[in-house]
């Protein structure tokens, strides 16, 4: 049966349409192919002359149609209409896009539009003889990879490359499925999202039964193309009514953010795509005068200057984020300190008070505490994106990232996630939306939480201070570098074994530079920040309560509890009381569900160097990484909140109670780090090797719950669960190797 189909195919005549700009050489090619035996007629319904001819190559009939010369596939001019209707209605087996190689920039614009329709296409780089004499070098494989189409250099008038062309025609025309596969150009996040929505709608309608790809219809619909609009309104009025609000919403959104129509933005992005392609695949020895954008790229994409400038930009981004968000973070901190003071003073002691204080206020405070940082980071990122610089960064780094199965667009996620210590995985995960390929996006999301985020920093500081006081800076730096290595290496593993798939072709988008509008930046930043609050907010409160419950219940056995009560009653000094209270806290924690899990895991975790108290802290680290520090404080019996010496040391001035409380908190934290470090240093179960193992485990294991919540909302429950389980097991295995290896080497 298969054989029959094949032989049928090979007798079928192939219909080829020649499309191209005026003067690209279509007629010259047509004459060479058909040996001047042209038939002349008219296109249906119009007085435009249609020329067609026939030839037989290796026994196969090839029918060639010379389309009118056009610059684009809009529906404005008669020539454009004729050319487009021929393609859409006659369904030629393939298009030979005749391109004037000496004027690639203008010619390739039509090429892109043809490729966006998706029918089988050969791009014939005509006048290659002239291009070569003028010093143009064209990297054909690169061009093919970028355009996802076959590209062939020819010179129609002297007959160069025509045999290759004739041989390629049946190969492309008989492409196994003969489906139309449109090239997908990224038009920026806003338009891409609208395109996706429209394509989905179109695919689920009867319109999609025709050969015309939904993606192309969607592109044309957003461009308010007359023909597509009319066709939809006539054939599927309900669908048109459903789609129209998407277009209107996008139009007004773009109006506020970029002060442009969708069509203008899309044209810009197409030229941006071509600019990128040109940079990668075409070398000109004679340079023409360049517009500002190209001149800037001369500097910003320069091999030597680009990395320096990039580092400087990232440095400024971080500085800006912390500088701008600092005061707001302070206000929020004051507010929550005030709130907990109020709760402390006005609610009766008991479980409910503990829940509200330690569970809810801490949980909500945790979510909101991140918000200013995230908001300002998004302001910075939006600026970089809207200005066109972000596209350059990904353009530069794409090659390196592709080696690890990632994409140039992954870089922002990793940097924001803590690629430079102090980021946050939540905006990092959200920054992956610019990735079009789902597998690359999921991979990026899964490795982003491995970076040194701001919450891991105090934990790292404490541990390095305790065990490597003389090499603190080096170890912190080493951890950041190690995080990068781990993320890239893990991405490679994921792409090899879990998310296997072809790499997307290199990035070509080089949209023109532009000065972003303030309203655009603020709107983009606001949308993302609000998205975070909405997404993380709901989940994290629930999870904080669960974690608090796990670390609180079950209660101590009645007998143990009353023993403690009795001892507390007879304690005669404040110091004695405090010691007993600390002891009670530890007993309580060990007895809780989290404590029991920590203890139960000890046989396994000890192999990597972690005893039960560390385990509890790591369980607490699910809530937020900085909780590791406070939980260790409790588990190693350090007082955290009621040290009278501390309280007195900071009272004598007349500061307001919130400022005092905040200062107390800071001093407490510093003291906690110091004391805990000291305690660990004295503890015989701890050693530099244990610390090393723990540092690396904290880097890799499950993300915090706010991040997990965002992963869940972005790519679903399956991957959220995967990130918890797989990262934890993965981290464990690595620490097992480090710890056991270290022991064997005698550390």
Nearest-CA neighbor of 146 among 156, 138, 137?
138
- Asked if 48 touches ligand GDP (CB under 6 A), the answer is no
Q: Mark residue 647 as left, alpha or beta (left: phi above 0; alpha: psi -120 to 50; beta: remaining).
A: alpha
Question: For residue 432, how many other CB atoms are within 10 A of its CB?
Answer: 25
The CB-of-152 to ligand GDP minimum distance in angstroms stands at: 12
Residues 6+ apart with CB under 8 A from 242: 201
Coil/strand/helix, residue 18: strand
Question: Would you state the structure tokens that stand for residue 187, as one six-digit string?
Answer: 């038009």
Q: Which is nearer to ligand GDP, 155 or 734 (CB)?
A: 155
Residues that bind Mg ion (CB under 5 A): 27
Q: Which is nearer to ligand GDP, 58 or 286 (CB)?
A: 286
The Cα-based distances of 469 to 73, 458, 534, 592, 678 in angstroms read 68, 15, 41, 34, 11
Q: Which does 598 bind (CB under 5 to 8 A by kind): Mg ion, ligand GDP, none?
A: none
- Asked if 27 touches ligand GDP (CB under 6 A), the answer is yes
Which of 69, 120, 276, 731 contacts ligand GDP by CB under 6 A? Answer: 69
Q: Which is nearer to ligand GDP, 73 or 254 (CB)?
A: 73
| Stretch binding ligand GDP (CB under 6 A), from 20-28, 79-87, 367-375, 427-435 | 20-28
Question: Would you state the structure tokens that stand for residue 607, as one six-digit string?
Answer: 């192999």
The CB-of-27 to Mg ion minimum distance in angstroms stands at: 3
- Using CB under 6 A as the binding rule, the residues of this chain from 527 to 556 that contact ligand GDP are none
The CB-of-38 to ligand GDP minimum distance in angstroms stands at: 12
Q: Which is nearer to Mg ion, 72 or 268 (CB)?
A: 72
Q: How many Å apart are CA 581 and CA 636, to the nearest integer?
A: 13
Q: Which does 135 bind (CB under 5 to 8 A by kind): ligand GDP, Mg ion, none?
A: none
- Using CB under 6 A as the binding rule, the residues of this chain from 147 to 166 that contact ligand GDP are 155-157
Q: Which is nearer to ligand GDP, 18 or 232 (CB)?
A: 18
Bridge partners, residue 282, by sequence: 138
Q: Which does 360 bind (CB under 5 to 8 A by kind): ligand GDP, Mg ion, none?
A: none
| Stretch binding ligand GDP (CB under 6 A), from 22-30, 344-352, 495-503, 680-688 | 22-30
The CB-of-124 to Mg ion minimum distance in angstroms stands at: 14
Coil/strand/helix, residue 4: helix
Q: How many Å apart are CA 383 and CA 387, to the nearest integer?
A: 6
DSSP 504: P
Q: Is the dihedral of CA 463, 469, 470, 473 positive or negative?
A: positive
| Stretch binding ligand GDP (CB under 6 A), from 18-26, 272-280, 401-409, 638-646 | 18-26
- Asked if 417 touches ligand GDP (CB under 6 A), the answer is no
Q: Which is nearer to ligand GDP, 28 or 337 (CB)?
A: 28
Q: Which is nearer to ligand GDP, 27 or 54 (CB)?
A: 27
Q: Which does 327 bind (CB under 5 to 8 A by kind): ligand GDP, Mg ion, none?
A: none
Nearest-CA neighbor of 394 among 457, 339, 450, 313?
313
- Asked if 111 touches ligand GDP (CB under 6 A), the answer is no
Q: Which does 155 bind (CB under 5 to 8 A by kind): Mg ion, ligand GDP, none?
A: ligand GDP
Cβ pair 640, 679 in contact under 8 A? no
Residues 6+ apart with CB under 8 A from 721: none
Q: How many Å apart are CA 647 and CA 187, to the nearest integer?
A: 58
- Asked if 130 touches ligand GDP (CB under 6 A), the answer is yes
- Asked if 53 touches ligand GDP (CB under 6 A), the answer is no
Q: Is the dihedral of CA 489, 495, 497, 498 positive or negative?
A: positive
The Cα-based distances of 79 to 51, 113, 181, 514 in angstroms read 14, 15, 24, 34
Nearest-CA neighbor of 408 among 396, 420, 424?
396
Cβ pair 111, 97 in contact under 8 A? yes
Residue written as token pair 């009867």: 206
Q: Which is nearer to ligand GDP, 48 or 301 (CB)?
A: 48
CA dihedral 572, 574, 577, 582 (to 10 degrees): -160
Residue written as token pair 């001093």: 667
The CB-of-51 to Mg ion minimum distance in angstroms stands at: 8
- Asked if 28 touches ligand GDP (CB under 6 A), the answer is yes
Q: Which is nearer to Mg ion, 27 or 472 (CB)?
A: 27
Size of the site for ligand GDP (CB under 6 A): 16
The CB-of-125 to Mg ion minimum distance in angstroms stands at: 18
Q: Which does 218 bind (CB under 5 to 8 A by kind): ligand GDP, Mg ion, none?
A: none
Q: 603-616 burial, b if ≥16 CB within 10 A, otherwise e?
A: eebbebbbbbbbbb
Q: Which does 22 bind (CB under 5 to 8 A by kind): ligand GDP, Mg ion, none?
A: ligand GDP
Q: Which is nearer to ligand GDP, 153 or 366 (CB)?
A: 153
Q: How many Å apart are CA 681 and CA 67, to the nearest integer?
A: 82
- Asked if 25 touches ligand GDP (CB under 6 A), the answer is yes
- Using CB under 6 A as the binding rule, the residues of this chain from 278 to 307 that contact ligand GDP are none
Q: Which residues bind ligand GDP (CB under 6 A)?
A: 20, 22-28, 69, 126-127, 129-130, 155-157
């Amino acid at each position: 049966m298969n054989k029959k189909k094949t032989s049928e195919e090979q007798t079928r005549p192939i219909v080829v349409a020649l499309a191209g700009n005026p003067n690209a050489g279509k007629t010259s090619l047509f004459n060479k192919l058909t040996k001047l035996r042209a038939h002349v007629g008219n296109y249906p319904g119009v007085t435009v002359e249609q020329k067609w001819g026939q030839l037989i190559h290796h026994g196969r009939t090839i029918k060639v149609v010379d389309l009118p010369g056009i610059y684009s596939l809009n529906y404005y001019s008669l020539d454009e209409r004729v050319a487009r209707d021929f393609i859409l209605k006659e369904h030629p087996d393939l298009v030979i896009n005749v391109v004037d190689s000496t004027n690639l920039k203008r010619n390739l614009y039509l090429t892109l539009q043809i490729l966006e329709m998706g029918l089988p296409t050969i791009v014939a780089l005509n006048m290659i003889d002239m291009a070569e004499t003028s010093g143009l070098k064209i990297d054909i494989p690169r061009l093919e990879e970028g355009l996802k189409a076959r590209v062939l250099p020819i010179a129609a008038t002297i007959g160069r490359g025509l045999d290759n062309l004739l041989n390629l025609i049946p190969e492309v025309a008989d492409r196994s499925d003969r489906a139309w596969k449109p090239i997908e150009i990224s038009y920026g996040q806003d338009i891409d999202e609208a395109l996706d929505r429209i394509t989905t709608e179109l695919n689920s309608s009867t319109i999609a039964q025709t050969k015309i790809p939904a993606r192309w219809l969607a592109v044309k619909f957003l461009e308010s193309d007359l023909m597509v609009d009319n066709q939809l309104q006539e054939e599927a009025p309900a669908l048109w009514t459903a789609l129209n609000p998407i277009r209107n919403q996008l139009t007004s959104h773009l109006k506020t953010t970029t002060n442009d129509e969708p069509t203008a933005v899309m044209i810009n992005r197409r030229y941006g795509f071509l600019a990128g392609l040109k940079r990668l695949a075409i070398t000109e020895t004679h340079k023409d005068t360049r517009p500002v954008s190209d001149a800037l790229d001369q500097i910003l994409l320069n091999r030597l200057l680009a990395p320096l400038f990039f580092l400087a930009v990232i440095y400024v981004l971080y500085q800006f984020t912390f500088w701008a968000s600092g005061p707001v973070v302070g206000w929020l901190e004051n507010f929550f300190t005030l709130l907990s003071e109020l709760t402390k003073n006005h609610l009766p002691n008991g479980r409910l008070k503990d829940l509200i204080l330690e569970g809810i206020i801490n949980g909500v405070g945790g979510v909101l505490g991140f918000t200013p940082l995230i908001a300002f980071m998004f302001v910075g990122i939006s600026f970089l994106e809207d200005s066109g610089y972000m596209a350059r960064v990904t353009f530069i780094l794409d090659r390196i990232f592709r080696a690890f199965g990632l994409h140039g667009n992954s870089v922002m996620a990793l940097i924001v996630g803590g690629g430079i210590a102090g980021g946050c995985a939540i905006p990092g995960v959200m920054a992956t939306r610019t990735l079009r390929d789902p597998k690359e996006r999921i991979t990026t999301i899964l490795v982003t939480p491995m970076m040194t985020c701001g919450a891991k920093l105090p934990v790292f500081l404490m541990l390095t201070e305790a065990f490597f006081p003389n090499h603190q800076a080096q170890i912190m730096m080493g951890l950041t570098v190690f995080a990068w290595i781990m993320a890239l290496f893990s991405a490679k593993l994921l792409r090899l074994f879990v998310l296997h798939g072809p790499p997307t072709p290199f990035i070509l988008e080089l949209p023109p530079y532009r000065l972003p509008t303030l309203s655009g930046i603020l709107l983009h930043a606001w949308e993302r920040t609000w998205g975070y609050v909405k997404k993380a907010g709901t989940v994290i409160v629930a999870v904080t309560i669960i974690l608090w419950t796990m670390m609180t219940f079950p209660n101590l056995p009645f007998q143990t509890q009353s023993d403690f009560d009795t001892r507390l009653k007879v304690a005669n000094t404040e110091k004695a009381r405090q010691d007993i209270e600390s002891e009670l806290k530890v007993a309580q924690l060990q007895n809780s569900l989290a404590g029991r899990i920590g203890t139960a895991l000890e046989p396994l975790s000890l192999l990597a160097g972690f005893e039960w108290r560390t385990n509890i802290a790591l369980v607490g680290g699910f809530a937020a990484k900085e909780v590791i520090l406070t939980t260790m404080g409790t588990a190693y019996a350090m007082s955290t909140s009621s040290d009278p010496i501390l309280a007195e040391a900071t009272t004598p001035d007349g500061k307001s109670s919130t400022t005092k409380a905040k200062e107390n908190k800071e001093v407490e934290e510093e003291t906690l780090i110091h004391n805990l470090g000291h305690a660990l240093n004295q503890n015989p179960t701890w050693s530099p090797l244990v610390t090393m193992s723990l540092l690396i485990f904290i880097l890799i294991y499950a993300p915090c719950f706010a991040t997990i919540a965002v992963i869940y909302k972005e790519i679903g429950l399956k991957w959220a669960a995967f990130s918890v389980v797989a990262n934890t097991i993965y981290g464990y295995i690595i620490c097992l190797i480090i710890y056991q290896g270290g022991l064997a080497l005698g550390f």
